[in-house]
Structure 1
Amino acid sequence: MADAPYTPPAVWDPNTVSGGRFAGINRPTAGPREERELPVGEHPFQLYSLATPNGVKVTIMLEELLEAGHRGAEYDAWTVNISAGEQFGSGFVAVNPNSKIPALLDRSTPDAPFRVFESGAILVHLAEKFGMFLPADPAKRAEVLSWLFWQVASAPFIGGGFGHFYAYAPEKYEYPINRYAMETKRIFDVADKRLAQSRFLAGDEYSIADIANFPWLAPFTEGTIYNDAKTFLSIDEYTHVARWVAEIKARPAVRRGRIVNKVWGDEDTQLKERHSAADFAGKRLD
């Protein structure tokens, strides 16, 4: 059955209620909605985030740097409850005017702290600062950045597109589900074909391209995102993606990074805040 026809008005009404899971916080305006300071810990990096795919990119990156021996990458990770609208507090908006997680405050130079927002920008910043996961060779660097920004450009089709209409929208409509299911499968096919040619997305070396893509692709292969999306999209078809996911998810830093700022699921897989390696004691790293 075709969807009921909808004729857009000449001018969209900003007071329109869209419904759905995030109807209570969605507004067509930017800026703070309340005065709320952010907590600040003792480490060089202060991360304000949540363990969504975009948030996990940064905690994996920081844990990888620590795993490699970079003590200067120590960080405090503070949970931002986006369902409760905490991203619209004045302190968070000062770090990210777009009110999206993750946001990073770099205090490694105490007298000149600065913000970095957008997950892709944070990964590049940390990679350049510590000289890891982003090659210096121009051709290799270009390949890594290409796959990084491919992910940044693709995520809205997967999350705001497929994820929203398939799992979160108050009503199911055939057209948007078909539209974004097709695009999500196309994205998986791009990755699968590439990973049939190389061990990692940008070649033989693990990089920020893999760190960025893994948190979005892995939950589909595991069947842990958007209800039964794994079955609906026949994700098992993408065997090269599955091989890549299995290799990356076994990395100790990845296992730690995936639970930082996680506030759902079994309690022993949650780590609401992270302030030192000791915080992982007693936690189950799947």
Structure 2
Amino acid sequence: MINLYTWATPNGRKISIMLEELGVDYTVSPVDLGQLAQFSASYTAISPNNKIPAIVDSGSEGAPITIFESGAILTYLADKSGQFLAAHGQARYNALAWLHWQTSSLGPMLGQLGFFAVRSEEKSALAISRFSEEADRLLNVLENQLQAHAYVAGDEYSIADMACYPWVLAATAYLKQVLKDSLAAKPAIQRWLQQVGARPAVQRGMAIPKL
């Protein structure tokens, strides 16, 4: 049995989407970020960086396996199940490259833009301009990829799509005013959002945790 520690954020929803796609039994332990539950001693023992998501897989051979960081969790679940990530070859490393692109570039830049442009009471024009420009550049990278391919890593749906989808969807709502011109000019991203968002497992995963 897998226990998923998560909250209602794009990073958390990556993993619930994957678990729903796999159709495996799992339990959900909400980590209330608003109450700073991520800093509790019990959760720090699972996720030393005090971030969600994390999993504990008690069904692994031998001792339970504990993993934090969404990219590592997606790779583990894909390798364990043999789904949504090729076992070898170019397709595998394409998916891993785009997965790491999301975790190292797209997510952090959209997160910083959200902080400076939306959440922060004190607005910094320089910071908003810097992160808006970088977010637009990254969305152009994604648009170009999706103009050439059905999915983020190529012609097959993969963990790269699961990693990118919650963040891009959040940008269309949370960052709508900041990125409206950028998003409106990217038809391939809009097509991909509809295509991935129509998957029943994605819809179920996006509703977890049920608050």
Instruction: Compare 148-157 and 55-64 and name the one that shifted more.
Output: 148-157
Instruction: Compare 49-58 and 102-111 and name the one that shifted more.
Output: 102-111
Q: How many residues align?
A: 210
2-side partners of 1:91 and 1:227: how far apart?
37
State the TM-score, normalizing by the size of structure 2. 0.96
Equivalent residue of 2:45, what SS?
helix
> 4+ residue runs of structure 1 moved beyond 4 angstroms?
none
Consecutive unaligned residues in structure 1, runs of 5 or more: 1-43, 67-72, 262-270, 273-286
Code of the residue aligned with 2:55 in structure 1: it is L
% identical aligned pairs: 40
User: Equivalent residue for 1:228?
Assistant: 177
2:51 counterpart of 1:100: yes
The CA deviation string for residues 69-103 of structure 1, in whole angstroms up to 9 with x for no partner, is: xxxx2100121111110001111111100000001
Offset, 1:196: 0.4
Q: 1:52 aligns with which of 9, 15, 37?
A: 9
1-side partners of 2:37 and 2:175: how far apart?
23
2:33 counterpart of 1:91: no
User: Equivalent residue for 1:15?
Assistant: none
Task: Determine if contact 2:110/2:171 at 8 Å carries over to the other structure.
Answer: no
Task: Determine if contact 2:13/2:208 at 8 Å carries over to the other structure.
Answer: yes
Q: 1:158 aligns with which of 100, 110, 133?
A: 110
Offset, 1:238: 0.9
User: Equivalent residue for 2:130?
Assistant: 179
Code of the residue aligned with 2:177 in structure 1: it is D
2-side partners of 1:76 and 1:189: how far apart?
37
Code of the residue aligned with 1:63 in structure 2: it is E
- Structure 1 segment 272-283 matched on structure 2, within 5 A: 272=211
User: Equivalent residue for 1:79?
Assistant: 30
The CA deviation string for residues 186-230 of structure 1, in whole angstroms up to 9 with x for no partner, is: 111000011000000111100001010111112233xx2146334
Equivalent residue of 1:196, what SS?
helix
Instruction: Compare 234-243 and 246-255 and name the one that shifted more.
Output: 234-243
Offset, 1:234: 3.3
2-side partners of 1:212 and 1:107: how far apart?
24
1-side partners of 2:66 and 2:162: how far apart?
21
The CA deviation string for residues 105-140 of structure 1, in whole angstroms up to 9 with x for no partner, is: 111137511210000000000000000000123111
Offset, 1:168: 1.1
2-side partners of 1:50 and 1:153: how far apart?
20
Distance 1:111 1:145, change over 3 A: closer
Equivalent residue of 1:216, what SS?
helix
Measured on the aligned residues, the alpha-carbon RMSD in Å equals 1.3
1-side partners of 2:154 and 2:52: how far apart?
29
1-side partners of 2:101 and 2:198: how far apart?
24
Task: Determine if contact 2:132/2:178 at 8 Å carries over to the other structure.
Answer: no
Task: Determine if contact 2:52/2:69 at 8 Å carries over to the other structure.
Answer: yes
Equivalent residue of 1:96, what SS?
coil
Code of the residue aligned with 1:46 in structure 2: it is N
Distance 1:111 1:202, change over 3 A: closer
Equivalent residue of 1:205, what SS?
coil
Structure with greater contact order relative to length (CA < 8 Å, sep ≥ 6): 2
Equivalent residue of 2:84, what SS?
coil
2:173 counterpart of 1:216: no
User: Equivalent residue for 2:144?
Assistant: 193
Higher alpha-carbon Rg: 1
Where is the helix percentage greater, Structure 1 or Structure 2? 2
